[in-house]
Structure 1
Amino acid sequence: MTAAPGTPAATPRRNLPLLGRPPVERADAARNRRRILAAAAELVATRGVAALSMDEVAQAAGVGVGTVYRRFGDRAGLAYAVIDDRERRFQAAFLSGPPPLGPGADAHARLRAFLHALAERTDEQVDLLLMAELDSPAARFEQSYDVYHRHLVLLIRGAAPEADAVYLADALLAPFAANLVAHQRRTRGMSVERIKAGLDALISGLARSG
């Protein structure tokens, strides 16, 4: 399949889920990795995926371009690494961070906080996530999706024990397809706050039944 304009050429798909600790690295290697990922994320945020360049990332990170190629292989590999880095932080926040996103709040509050945080997380990297879904449409339903689904099932069962939590978890995740979020934001002109308000409406029935 030909990649969409402005996206890196397709390469063998990298896994998106990032639960668990990153590989053990030397201190200097870990420092370079953080600098490279931060520089790549900033470049994508300010100029888009089409502007992602190994040379520019290396220059912004203050490392040699060979270091970037050795660590990430190619531009697509670097893009997936940026997704993975952000995903680790997001999962850590809802699994073990402070409430209401993390443990310690009631199920309704955590459900709302999770959906709001996922809306922000998806919007933040929508171009990179679009690239991942173009690379392999099945990727959306692997790894990170499974983590989100299991988390939502637990929250829905806490908020509404009689509900079909497995189905509703899929239904609540459906609005986060990257192509839909991009369409809402760019074609329909919806703000992230409007998307969050719509998500609140979706879970209001759960709140009443709970």
Structure 2
Amino acid sequence: MSPKHTDTITDRQSEKKVRRPGRPAFPRELVLAAADALFADADAPKSVSMDDVAAAAGVGKATLFRAFGSRDGLLDALFEARAAPLRAELDRPGSPLGPEAPPLDRILALFDELVSFKFDNPHLTAARELSGMLQAPHYVWMHATLRSLIEQTDSAAAESAESADYTAHVLLGGLRVDVIDELLASGRSREDIRHEVAALVRRVLGPAR
């Protein structure tokens, strides 16, 4: 179902609305929730515009651009909100992702979480991947985190910073939404894909021989 188009209020009306006494200057959480719902319901990620988001959230489009900079900036803010629990797990003692776990185990747990994230947020992920991912803040964070963990393994990929850097890009590339969609279309289940991803990580990052 494509997002419904409604009239967008002006920026002056929007700012007057959100600056009532006792209210924050900009309803960030409301805007993110509205955008999230639009992307979830859209038939195609490209169909959701900043006009749609502004109308759904009841703010002016220029106000939206001032808050997020661009459509990609809005998508990055959505990813940041969704990824916050995952970031917290990487620092939580006792977590499979936490600092006490062996590096390879942390990487396996991280990829399992990332695959689940792609399953749960296909339209949001596809929308950002369509406009380029490599410079997106969440990708930069995922790549840096993975590269650091790879450098701590006993794998051949840990032999140099350049190798760890490239390996991190290659492994993350296997999680693209279009790749996952193709695997699902071929008849593989979500559980099949999770196992295949884990097997790939073990083959690439297992101890060097």
TM bucket (normalised to shorter chain) is: 0.5 to 0.7
Q: Give the letter aligned to residue 150 of structure 1.
A: A
User: In percent, how many aligned pairs have the same letter?
Assistant: 26
**Structure with bigger gyration radius:** 2
Q: Which residue of 2 aligns with 1:37?
A: 32
Decide which of 99, 106, 124 is 1:110's aligned counterpart.
Answer: 106
Partner of residue 147 from structure 1, selected from 124, 141, 144: 141
Aligned residue pairs, count: 177
Distance of 1:158 and 1:27 partners within structure 2: 49
1:188 corresponds in structure 2 to: 186
Distance of 1:131 and 1:43 partners within structure 2: 11
Distance 1:97 1:29, change over 3 A: farther
Instruction: Give the residue type in structure 2 aligned to 1:123.
Output: F
CA pair 42-163 structure 1, distance change in 2 beyond 3 A? same
Which residue of 133, 157, 160 maps to 2:154?
160
Pairing partner for 2:63 from 67, 70, 76: 70
Tell me the residue number matched to 1:201. 199
Q: Which has the higher contact order (CA 8 A, sep 6+)?
A: 1
Aligned mate of 1:96, from 91, 94, 105: 91
**2:178 is the alignment partner of 1:179:** yes
Q: Which runs of 5+ in 2 are unaligned?
A: 4-20, 159-163
Q: TM-score, normalised by structure 2?
A: 0.64
Q: CA-atom RMSD, angstroms? A: 3.6
| Residue 125 of structure 2 corresponds to residue 132 of structure 1 | no
Unaligned stretches of 5+ in structure 1? Answer: 1-5, 8-25, 59-64
How far off is 1:78 after superposition?
Answer: 4.4
Please tell me whether the aligned partners of residues 101 and 110 of structure 1 are also in contact (alpha carbons under 8 angstroms).
yes
Question: CA, structure 1 residues 71+167, in 2 after alignment: closer, same or farther (shift >3 Å)?
Answer: closer
Name the CA distance, whole Å, in 1 between partners of 2:128 and 2:39.
14
